[in-house]
Structure 1
Amino acid sequence: MNAPASDPRMSVSAEEIKRYNALAATWWDPKGPMWPLHRLNALRVPFVVEAVSEHFGLKTSQAPLKGLTVLDIGCGAGLLSEAMARAGAVVTAVDPAQRNIAIAMEHAAAEDLAIEYIHGDIDSVAHRQFDVVLNMEVVEHVENLDAFMASCGACVAGGGVQIVATLNRNFKSWLFAIIGGEYVLRWLPKGTHQWRKFVTPEETRRMLTAAGLTPLKSAGVAVNPFTRSYSLTDDTSVNYMIVAARHD
């Protein structure tokens, strides 16, 4: 991504890209600073597979997403991308942090997984459409959110789905995700999140609808600070996921 940080088309700031470039080498270490993402991935992968399988009426237990095209936006070093490829999907993944993409490509090659990795932002695939668009733990890092979500929605093919996972914006999310997660428990590096960029479920649904998608269902994500485990819940006050579909 070659545009300067002041370019209004950019969806992620240069500071965010620099932070994730610095963390790139630790991405695949389940005991390193990215361990919360590994735990979260263990929860979101079956959620995504189940939601997509249900939407497309897929019944196969082995390679349940076989033949579906999947776009993983803000893929990092490929945790979710690899899981989708192992489920049989044809995966394209984009990330603005160049070191993330380099490590993702190296890891996928070592695992003999054919994943198309692209160093860039959503504009890098703006001319393409996919059966499934995954927008997971990304929107809370985006500067121009309405434009970004419109571009993400445009990448969803007719009959396809987009799944968004992010953080709600309220006092509880500030207390739990930032004060608790970054300063008290120190599960995440300080500065990982900016509360002003958190997005309420209502705002997410509005942007999905504006992009021509119909929100279908949502789920909250709960974190147990004692066991460091993640679980699905009806409570969307902190972390949440929304599934939306394009019916045209």
Structure 2
Amino acid sequence: MCEPQRNADDVELAKFDDLSRHWWDPEGACRPLHEINPVRLGFVEERSGGLAGLRVLDVGCGGGLLAEAMARRGARVTGIDLGEGALDVARLHLLESGLEVDYRCIAVEDLAAEQPESFDVVTCMELLEHVPDPRSVIHACARLLQPGGHLCVATLNRTPKAFALAIVGAEYLLRWLPRGTHQFSRFIRPSELDGWMRDSGLALRGLTGMHYDPLHRRYYLGPGVEVNYLAHAVRED
């Protein structure tokens, strides 16, 4: 059973529980997550100076795509989520991969109260735009980091271009994602994210855009944060 929940949207949780059976199908409804996973992993590994031996927390881990990838690079990974269905899939997949990941159904705020300053790296990918209070998530992530620890975040910018590509294009025209996956009002401007980080004792160290090459069906990092972007911050001593 899940531990007590807060800062969660039941509608959003239901959306992702409905996707649970597709998490590890690279050609199914979660195909975009499979395509961005190598980019996310590379960003986290480069920004943290390598993952081997580090204690890493993946907030909103879903079915475990990034959590397993980081464990494969030698990290000691904990994955948390409030979706029981996704966590069931994540735990089951460990039987196939043979990797070790500690999966827990717990809110990040509750884990921060339980285990402050416990992690070298915290990742929070494609989660902030799905929760009622993203500021609270950032604050909890900061509490979970050791001084000098790294936070890596991926989210969507609240711009007309992001609305056109991430919602109209990806959900309605190309049908890469189920309709209703995103709400434009919950997209987050980099300036907002930076403010929450500073309020939480974090120093923003870098922003980069995540772009899609439809010809080669691959994502890549580069200038321009108008749609998808990745942010790296460090907890100040």
Tell whether the structures are fold-level matches, with TM greater than 0.5.
Answer: yes
2:41 and 2:228 map into 1 onto residues whose CA distance is 15
Q: Which residue of 2 aligns with 1:32?
A: 28
From 51, 63, 69, the counterpart of 2:55:
69
From 96, 102, 116, the counterpart of 1:110:
96
TM-aligned CA deviation for residue 48 of structure 1: 1.1
From 37, 41, 46, the counterpart of 1:41:
37
Q: Helix, strand or coil for the counterpart of 1:227?
A: coil
Once the two structures are superposed, the pairs formed by residues 1-248 of structure 1 within 5 Å of their partners are 1=2, 10-53=6-49, 64-126=50-112, 127-128=114-115, 129-248=118-237
What is the TM-score normalised by the length of structure 2?
0.94
What is the TM-score normalised by the length of structure 1?
0.90
Identity %: 39
Superposed CA deviations along residues 180-201 of structure 1, whole A, max 9, x for unmatched, are 1100111100000000000001
Superposed CA deviations along residues 105-126 of structure 1, whole A, max 9, x for unmatched, are 1111321111100012213411
Superposed CA deviations along residues 149-191 of structure 1, whole A, max 9, x for unmatched, are 2112111111101011100001111111000110011110000
TM-aligned CA deviation for residue 2 of structure 1: 5.9
1:152 and 1:131 map into 2 onto residues whose CA distance is 11
CA RMSD of aligned residues (A): 1.3
TM-aligned CA deviation for residue 27 of structure 1: 0.3
Question: Tell me, which stretches of 5 or more residues in structure 2 are unaligned?
Answer: none
1:145 and 1:10 map into 2 onto residues whose CA distance is 12
Q: Which residue of 2 aligns with 1:56?
A: none
Contact 1:94 1:118 in 2 (8 A): yes
Runs of 4+ in 1 over 4 A off after TM superposition: none
1:15 and 1:125 map into 2 onto residues whose CA distance is 22
